[in-house]
Structure 1
Amino acid sequence: MELIYTGKTKDVFKLENELYLLKFKDDVTGENGVFDPGANTVGLTIDGAGLAGLKLTSFFYSKLNELEVPTHYVDANFEEQTMTVKPATVFGKGLEVICRFKAVGSFLRRYGAYATEGQDLDAFVEVTIKDDDRQDPPISEDALAMLNLLTHEEYAILKERTIEIAKFVGAELAKKDLTLYDIKLEFGRDAKTNEIILIDEISGGNMRAYKGATYIEPLELEQIMLAK
């Protein structure tokens, strides 16, 4: 295996069969020792977070593949804490797409003059650029097109798939009496077909889930969701 990228929460290796391997770490994003799925820095290390994230990601991706939602997921190895994926290219240096059902986190920090905490949002989609130095700034559809990161047609697909996947995840959480407040997704282009596909992970590390008014930590979320 060839190490090609060292990330905050995962390392990426290239395999000999043209597939890639993601190695999940126990690091999670946040600030000042507090977990925050929207943060662009590693905030803390949680023992077992990597395996929990992998198991939940495998759970969601397997279901999405069955529903024929385009993803990069091939399979997972829990013992090695790895996930095998198809090759994909990112938009520019990477985009993150957030779907919000409740007003919390950075949304509330920015729009607190008009929004109240926990206020209902109608699957609000926003895109941010992966840029640590500039703190992952939000970007509009027009700017994305003008900077040649993606076309208006691709943005429409990105938004539609984001809402579809976020609502699917929310429905799965609802089966366990949990409420999805927001989720951060990543997309890329399939390296062979150029189709827009879901990439990266779907775990407690990139979403906020609540039971009633109580926030559910990433490790607890995995335990709740995968309990028989």
Structure 2
Amino acid sequence: MDVQRLLLLLTSLLLVLTGPPALATAESEPAEVQLVLEVTSGETDDALGARLEATRNGAPASGLTVSFERSGPEEESDRAMATTDSSGVASWSFMVAGEGPFEVTATVTDPAGNRVGAAGPVEARAYPPTSCRCTPISPWLKGVAAANGDDRLVVWYQPGGIARLIRRDDTGRREWVRRGPLDANGRRSFRVRDHNDRRPTTYQVVVVRPDGVRTLTRRVTVR
């Protein structure tokens, strides 16, 4: 028997004993997630917002945790967390007390806590209110609910006064929750951690002017 026929015989015998070779497989890495972050500019008395859209292979990436962070204007900072919905979108609504540019970044993690990616910083700007350039005759109050459940409120009146924030519950019971001086522009912002399962909460502010006169804002309901 020649050498070539012997090699063919041995190869056939080896295939019978071991079977055909298995297919080579490799566990593929998770598809890369594409992140798009949008931030709105607006007036300081308006609710501004950040919107992050996450997609994977062109399809919405839901269930991701998004950590938003805002820096500016000046020394202001804020942060919140949200989860992408079935459309792959997570949103954050916030208020800016000062005027000027600010930046928002978003860091994204999966349900296991692994980092998926980040977007930003995206720069936007807070402008002074256009509805009134003068000092208001009566104190003015505006509120908005943030994505993390906090209530954000801004009061605007004459500079130099002291603002005292009142919270009213469903029964009408009144509670003093915050106080602080109005700045040189007559503004004061408050952030209240509200543990009420996002039920509507009513707020009001008493402003004590430098001359000692007390005045009350209208009531504002934050949902």
**TM (normalized to structure 2)?**
0.27
Larger relative strand fraction? 2
Q: Which has the higher helix share?
A: 1
Look at both structures and tell me which one has the larger radius of gyration over its CA atoms: 2
Normalising to structure 1: TM-score of the pair? Answer: 0.26
Structure possessing the higher relative contact order (Cα contacts under 8 Å, 6 or more residues apart): 1
